[in-house]
Amino acid sequence: MKPMSHGRKGLLWVGVAAALWLMAAPQKAPAESADEVPAGPTKLLRYADISRDRVVFVYGGDLWIAPREGGAASRLTSHVGDELYPKFSPDGKWIAFTGEYDGNPDVYLISSEGGEPKRLTFHPSNDIVLGWTPDGKNILFRSDRSSAPPARFTRLFLVSPQGGMPKMLPVPRGDLTSFSPDGTKIAYIETAQEFRTWKRYHGGWNLPMAIYDLKNNTYEELPKSSGMDMFPMWHGNAIYFISDRDGVMNLYSYDLGSKQTTKLTDYKEYDIKWPSLGPDAIVYENGGLLYEYNLANNKAREIPIAVHAEDTQARPEFKNGSQNIGSFALSPSAARAVMEARGNIFTVPAEHGSIRTLSSEQSGTHELNPAWSPDGKWVAYLSDKSGEYEVYCRPQMGGEETRLTTDGGIYRYGPTWSPDSKKLAYWDKLHQLWYVGIEEKKPVLVDKAAYGDISDASWSPDSLWLTYSKPHRRGSNDAFLYSLNTRRTTKVSEGFYNDSNPVFEPAGKYLFFLSTRYFYPSRGQLDQRYNYYTTDGIFAVTLKADEASPFKPESDEEKAEEKKDEKKSADSRSGEQKPEEKKEEKKEERKEEPAKPMQIDLEGLSARIVAVPMHPGILSGLAARKDKLFYVDTPQEALEFVPNTPPRPRNVLHLFDMTKREDQVLLDGLDGYDLDKEGKKVLYKAGQVYGIVEATPGKAKVGDGKLNLAEMQVKVDPREEWRQVFREAWRIERDFYWDPAMTGHDWKKIGARYEALLPWVVDRSDLNYLIGEMISELSTSHTYVGGGDQPQWTHVNVGMLGADFEPDGAYYRITKIYPGENWNESTRSPLTEPGLKVKAGDYLIAVNGQEARTDRDVYAYFQDLAGKLVTLEINSKATRQGAWEITVKPTASEAGVRYLDWIQTNRRKVEEATGGRIGYMHVPDTSFAGIIAFDKQFTAQLDKDGIIVDERDNSGGQIPDFYTEKLKRELLAVVAPRDTADIPWPPVAIYGPKIMIVNELAGSGGDAFPWFFHGEKIGPIVGTRTWGGLVGIGNVQPLRDGGFVTAPGFGFWSADHGGEWIVEQHGVDPDYVVPERPDLVVSGHDPQLEKAIELAKDALKNYRGLPPRPKYPSVKE
């Protein structure tokens, strides 16, 4: 497969896949684990709760219940979706939980004896059950339905077991929560981290537990340790909680009378997870087992539970691998494609025949990156069956494989065949390029880079040279040649441009490569700044000094008539040809002579570079066949991020005919391709479509020649596969983690600790949890795990109107209609469409003819109505009589209009407080949405003297020096056009005071933004310490079932601070520490914004702005 980029177009991301920077020290994988589940109590029982006589818990995504003393468990639910977070009612008769029966996490209720669950909430946001009110009249849950910015925090809600509209508690943010015994107060954490895979975290998000008085609107923080204090549980006159203040999560109590904290357990290896308070005990997880901590005698005991379940997700079964295809290649004659799918290697016929499995079909091995030998006999690939990735090859018809390398210990890439089918090139995580002979099996080191991978090696026609590009400085590559005979490297490039993807022309006369040598600036419409997009071209080097340029000037000339050979002419006229000659001619046509050793004049290579006559573009995937060049061009518009538009392949495969000097489009809209040996056929990938077509312009399009992948069956043993995925995740961290010494952790010991629990994994979610626990031991940001082969179920959407409702008698009253931008789908507010007769204060009477009564959640009436035309009956009174109809089109989410309303409310506050002199903008992230928001808001407020930059809850993305570059611009001059007001230069700038607001949920790129803001001395920072996660994701390698695990691959250090590492595990400290006290927020204040306004107003006193235009000069005669 030809890659779609050279590795030089990539951005360095914080929180998303990024450049690869540091090396990791090799270690061996953890020890083997047993195939069979060991005898004894069942482990990995999760999210438990306890009543007076029973415990309820989650096993395999379903609810189970067992006697409190232990024993056999009984199943309560069995839906394919997850049922999680069960909580007994105070009387033990009911269990509230979060279920996904209709695809969305909502609150459900089930009898503790079993039966049909009842759905209580219908909003499309996530509703997570936390518990009950002490009187049992309401269920407590958290939801991000009302958060702005969207999905960055949750608020607390109550819903009746009978159903109806949930009621929001009067705290601005709320997460893990427990009611006081009398129900008038809560012990809670504003934003918790129970799902974060980051142990022993000390950044700004490490928040204290607090008590909020719901009657008197008072707020009191509890004493805070340096560790994470979580899961407050209020019992009697004490608040119980877990904390990792001593390194491992243990159970503690805080006495409200004496103000003393007591440590109650002393686990040394595994954390306590998900403690839950019952009438007289706390149940929790530790090391996969459930324990009960008795509050009367202060003793803990194991609850031995046996779960006898089908474990259907752990059952071996056949699966179609076509949804998990990784790399692919085409056979020399294009008769078949070879593909990696679900860790196995397959060959797929172009038209006729069956799909052939080359792998040994073991679920415990990951085989990838197949490559077909030019002679058609072999398929080479990487396999980790030894515990490390090694290079193997196997006959293309199947048979015994041959292991070619034995020195694994680091992540590898490739391999790539030599034309004589006797050697393979490959490269590794340490930026080393190697080749190995099929017979010799002795790897030879070719080169090593300092700035990144050598990932585009290709062979000469005589198989005696390698060419490749090597990163030589920030963002640039040089092309090199390597002689296998002399083992010497020669640089082809001048060292001035960015040269990559070099390939030999089949005749051995030329070397072609991609290079960034065209500098055609494009000016942005919003800014007086220029950028370069279509910078790439294809260039050629003549390998011999006396070889003419392949694109030398052409000249049409008359040719003199030549005398024909009389004998040949006579033979031709007679039509005779001796049979022997005819036979020999055909035989010679079939014979393929070995390539002659190439002669390359290494002196003066860079002086012999010429351009291929074609238009520049954004190029990748260069390949050469006889008289033809193939390459991929990515149109500039494909680089644009368009909100609410699903991405689609926009890459265009081109063919450049060197004889005709003509460039033509071969295929439009693909993701990758490969060629046969002669360049007559092309294998393409476009989304989930793979096809083989003729490599002739105008002969085919995407969709033609589609391969039939229906028979690509893989027998998957989930338990074997989960073990392989676990170990590969362990190796990925070993090889790609930013610190080669793993920040002092014994990584082998940590791997063995969590692999010991692997036999009890019964579904992919369990595996993700276990991997998450393992990688969180690194105590580093950006360690994430997710995906994999998960069960699927139907998701029912919910239509949203962009409005608030409250029950008023039998019907719902509209209390607020959010203003929107109806030209923008992400911020469209359906009830504000022009011409609709509806306003705040009106009643919603019916939806599509069905009365919208208050005994059900209002959103229950809008199931499966997003994006559809809906008839509403509206009235100014709570009666159906006299109601009128309107037709609306609900949206799938109203998060955008709520966020927009929050921004506009803040902007009005700033404008009113400063007399319109100070602007306001909120930057939600440092990725595409944030870039759009920044430029949209900044350019709209250039008439302001100053601006408040609010980056609270910024979720990160890229490294945002592009933000501070605009904010720090200084006045250089003033342009004075005739008859026009003065224009400060640069014009896209705000020259007065700038204030930044931060909080604990601003992280990753949202950490870097205030760090740069402070370092550039742009202005003061207000708020609370930021997240503290600035070791970014360096690599995301594929797992065999489609899951992922991230490895933090690079950190930041500052030359201005004694060479110290910055931000990670601390955050950025504001100049003015201003907590967002909940009691003040409930009273209508925004303390952080108010402080920023105060500082801006003070700064305006000393800001003079632009002086008046001077008098025009006069010329004295």
Q: Are residues 332 and 276 in the same domain?
A: no
Going by pLDDT thresholds of 50, 70 and 90, the confidence category of residue 1117 is: low
- Measured CA to CA, the distance from residue 1075 to residue 1066 in angstroms comes to 17
Same domain, 879 and 959: no
Which residue range is the domain that position 996 belongs to? 899-1029+1065-1100
Q: Domain check: are 515 and 650 in the same one?
A: yes
**Residues whose CB falls within 8 Å of the CB of residue 64, separated by 6 or more in sequence, listed in order:** 45, 56, 57, 58, 73, 74, 75, 76, 307
| Burial class of 21 by CB neighbour count within 10 A (0 to 12, 13 to 18, 19+) | middle
Task: Look up residue 818 and give its two tokens.
Answer: 């959010």
Q: Based on the fold, state whether residues 295 and 165 are members of the same structural domain.
A: yes
Q: Which of 464, 461, 444, 456 is nearest to 480 (CA)?
A: 456
Reported as a pLDDT band with limits 50, 70 and 90, residue 559 is confident
What's the CA gap between 456 and 2, in Å, rounded?
10
Across the range 1004-1030, mean pLDDT stands at 98
Mean pLDDT of 270-288: 98
User: What pLDDT sits at residue 648?
Assistant: 63
Q: What is the mean pLDDT of residues 794-805?
A: 97
pLDDT, tens only, 681-722: 999 999 999 999 999 999 999 999 999 999 999 999 999 999
Q: Does 579 fall in a domain? A: no
CATH code of the domain covering residue 280: 2.120.10.60
The mean per-residue pLDDT over the stretch 962-966 comes to 97
**What mean pLDDT is predicted for residues 812-825?**
96
pLDDT on residue 1056 = 83
Structure-model confidence comparison of residues 526 and 259, the more confident one: 259
The closest of 805, 761, 734 to 288, measured between CA atoms, is 761
Is the pLDDT at 35 greater than 60, yes or no? no
Q: What is the pLDDT of residue 8?
A: 33
Give the full edge-to-edge strand order of the sheet including 229-235.
229-235, 238-243, 250-255, 261-263
Residue 887 lies in a domain: yes
587 falls within a domain: no
pLDDT number for residue 38: 83
Task: Indicate the range of 34-43, 394-403, 598-607 predicted with least confidence.
Answer: 34-43
| pLDDT of the residue at 25 | 33
Digit-coded pLDDT (tens) for 470-516: 998 777 999 999 999 999 999 999 889 999 999 999 999 999 999 99
Q: Pick from 855, 873, 725: which is nearest to 787 by CA?
A: 725
Summary mean pLDDT of the chain: 93
Give yes or no for residue 579 having a pLDDT over 70: no
Strand partners, 488: 483
Co-location of 93 and 196 in the same domain: yes
Give counts: helices (H), strands (E), the chain: 11, 78
| CATH number for position 356 | 2.130.10.10
Output the CA angle 13-999-904, nearest 5 degrees: 95
Q: What is the CATH number of the domain that holds 913?
A: 3.90.226.10
The answer on pLDDT for 564 being more than 90 is: no
- Residues 468, 371, single domain; the answer is yes
Strand boundaries in 862-917, DSSP class E: 870-875, 884-888
In a domain, 347, yes or no: yes
Average pLDDT for 539-562: 88
Q: pLDDT tens digits, residue range 777-788?
A: 999 999 999 999
Does residue 493 belong to any structural domain of this protein?
Answer: yes
Q: How many CA atoms lie within 13 A of 208 on its CB side?
A: 15
Whether 345 and 252 map to the same domain: the answer is no
- Residues 874-899 have pLDDT tens digits of 999 999 999 999 999 999 999 999 99
Same domain membership, residue 868 and residue 992: no
DSSP assignment string, 918-964: EEEEE---BSHHHHHHHHHHHHTTTTSSEEEEE-TT---EE--HHHH
Q: Answer whether residue 146 shows pLDDT above 80.
A: yes
Quote the CA–CA distance of 247 and 230 in Å, as a whole number.
Answer: 14
Last residue of a domain, one of 713, 745, 778: 713
> How many Cα atoms within 13 Å fall on the side-chain side of residue 504?
25
Tell whether pTM > 0.85: yes
Domain-located, residue 23: no
Q: How far is CA 731 from CA 572, 1033, 1045, in A?
A: 70, 16, 11
Q: Which pLDDT does position 996 carry in this prediction?
A: 99
792-813: b (≥16 Cβ within 10 Å) or e = eeeeebbbbbbbbbeeeeebbb
Tokens of 151: 């999905």
Q: What is the pLDDT of residue 563?
A: 59
CA distances to 732, 741, 766 from 1036, rounded to whole Å, are 9, 20, 21
Residues 1019-1068 pLDDT 10s = 999 999 999 999 999 878 989 999 999 999 999 999 886 789 999 999 99
3-state SS record for 470-512? EEEECCEEEEEEEECCCCEEEECCCCCCEEEEEEECCCCCEEE
- Residues 934 and 867 reside in one and the same domain: no
* 181 and 226, same domain (yes or no): yes
Report the alpha-carbon distance of residue 800 to residue 146 in Å, rounded.
13
List pLDDT tens digits, range 211-223: 999 999 999 999 9
Last residue of a domain, which of 854, 873, 891?
891
651 and 669 in contact (C-beta within 8 Å)? yes
* Residue 259 tokens, joined: 């103000």
Show the DSSP H helices in 501-578 as ranges. Answer: 566-574
Mean pLDDT of the 938-954 span: 98
Say what the pLDDT of residue 342 is: 96
User: What average pLDDT score do residues 61-67 get?
Assistant: 98
**What integer pLDDT is reported at residue 247 of this predicted model?**
96
From CA 979, how far away is CA 199, in angstroms rounded?
64
Instruction: Please say which residue of 282, 309, 336 terminates a domain.
Output: 309
Say which CATH number the domain at 865 has. 2.30.42.10
Residue 747's Cα: distance from chain center in Å? 25
Report the SS3 class of residue 357: strand
Q: Are residues 158 and 215 in the same domain?
A: yes
Rounded distance between C-alpha atoms, residue 1117 and residue 1112, angstroms: 16
Q: Check whether 29 has a pLDDT greater than 50.
A: no
Q: Is the pLDDT of residue 581 over 50?
A: no
7-16, 209-218, 234-243, 497-506: segment of lowest average pLDDT: 7-16
Mark residue 1071 as left, alpha or beta (left: phi above 0; alpha: psi -120 to 50; beta: remaining): alpha
- What's the burial of 132, exposed, middle or buried (CB within 10 Å: 0-12/13-18/19+)? buried
DSSP state for residue 34 in the 8-state scheme: -
Q: What is the C-alpha to C-alpha distance for residues 90 and 864, in angstroms, rounded to an integer?
A: 35
- 146 contacts: CB under 8 Å, gap ≥ 6: 155, 168, 898
- What is the percent of the chain with per-residue pLDDT over 70, rounded to a whole number? 93
Quick check: is 1083 in a domain? yes
Residues 141, 206 share a domain: yes
Number of domains in the chain: 4
d(CA 155, CA 140): 11
Residue 753 maps to a domain: no
For residue 704, the surrounding DSSP H or E stretch is strand 702-705
Pairing of strands 1072-1073, 1021-1023: parallel
The arithmetic mean of pLDDT across residues 659-679, rounded, is: 96
